[in-house]
Copies of this chain bind each other. A is one copy, B any other.
Amino acid sequence: MKMKIKKLGLDAGGKTICILNEKDAKDMGLHPLERVVVTKGKKKVTLLVDTAESFVKRGTIVVYKEATRLINFRNGDVVRVEPRKTLISKKSIDKKIRGEQLDYKDFRAIVDDVIDRDLNDLELASFITALHIHGLTVRESINMSRAMIDTGNKLKFSGTVVDKHSIGGVPGDKTSMMVVPIVAAAGLTIPKTSSRSITSPAGTADRVEAIAPVTLSSREIKKVVKKTKGCLVWGGSVDLAPADDLFIRIEHPLNLDPLLLPSVMSKKKSVGCKYLVIDIPTGRGAKMKTRREANKLAKNFKALGRELGIKVQCAVTPGHQPIGRAMGPALEARELLTCMRNMEEKDLIDKATTIAGMLFKMTGKGDKKTAFEIIKSGKAEKKFREIVKAQGGSDPKPGRIKVGKFIYCIRAKRAGKVKGIHNRDLVEICMAAGTPNDKGAGILLNKKIGERVKKGETLFTIFAEKKHKLNSGIKIAKSKHIFVVL
Contact = CB atoms under 8 A, between A and B. Distances in A.
Interface stretch (A125-133, A291-299, A357-365, A403-411): A125-133
B133 A52 contact: no
Contact of A22 (B11, B126, B434): B11
A13 interface: yes
A33 interface: yes
Contacts of A255: 94
Interface stretch (A115-123, A204-212, A442-450): A115-123
B126 A254 contact: yes
Given A10-B52, A97-B129, A253 B120 contact: yes
Contact of A133 (B19, B134, B432): B134
Contact of A125 (B29, B34, B122, B133): B122
A14 B130 CA distance: 24
Contacts of A249: 33
B32 A14 contact: yes
Contacts of A32: 11-15
Given A55-B8, A97-B133, A130-B129, A13 B31 contact: yes
Interface string A36-70: 00000000000001111111000000000100000
Contacts of A392: none
A134 B132 CA distance: 12
A365 B129 CA distance: 50
Contacts of A122: 121-122, 125, 250, 253-254
A470 interface: no
A437 B11 CA distance: 31
Contacts of A15: 32
Contact of A9 (B49, B54, B99, B256): B54
A97 B256 contact: yes
Interface string A13-25: 1110001001000
A134 B434 CA distance: 40
A126 B123 contact: no
Contact of A52 (B9, B134, B256): B9
Nearest to A120: B253
A10 B125 contact: no
A431 interface: yes
A50 B431 contact: no
Given A52-B8, A133-B99, A26 B437 contact: yes
Interface in A336-368: none
A161 B54 CA distance: 44
Most chain-B CB neighbours within 10 Å: which of A49, A55, A256, A431? Answer: A55
Contacts of A133: 97, 99, 129-130, 133-134
Nearest to A34: B253
A8 to B, nearest CB: 4
Contacts of A432: 29
Contacts of A50: 10-13
Contacts of A33: 13-14, 249, 253
A9 B55 contact: yes
A121 B254 CA distance: 10
A161 to B, nearest CB: 33
A120 B125 CA distance: 11
A34 B252 CA distance: 11
Contacts of A51: 11, 13
Given A10-B52, A33-B249, A125-B126, 18 more contacts: A8-B52, A8-B55, A9-B55, A10-B55, A11-B32, A11-B53, A13-B31, A13-B50, A15-B32, A29-B437, A34-B253, A97-B129, A121-B125, A125-B129, A126-B129, A126-B256, A129-B130, A130-B133
15 contacts: A9-B52, A9-B53, A10-B50, A11-B22, A11-B51, A12-B32, A14-B32, A15-B32, A97-B256, A121-B125, A122-B122, A122-B253, A123-B125, A125-B125, A129-B129
Interface of A: 8-15, 19, 22, 26, 29, 31-34, 49-55, 65, 94, 97, 99, 120-123, 125-126, 128-130, 132-134, 249-250, 253-256, 431-432, 434, 437
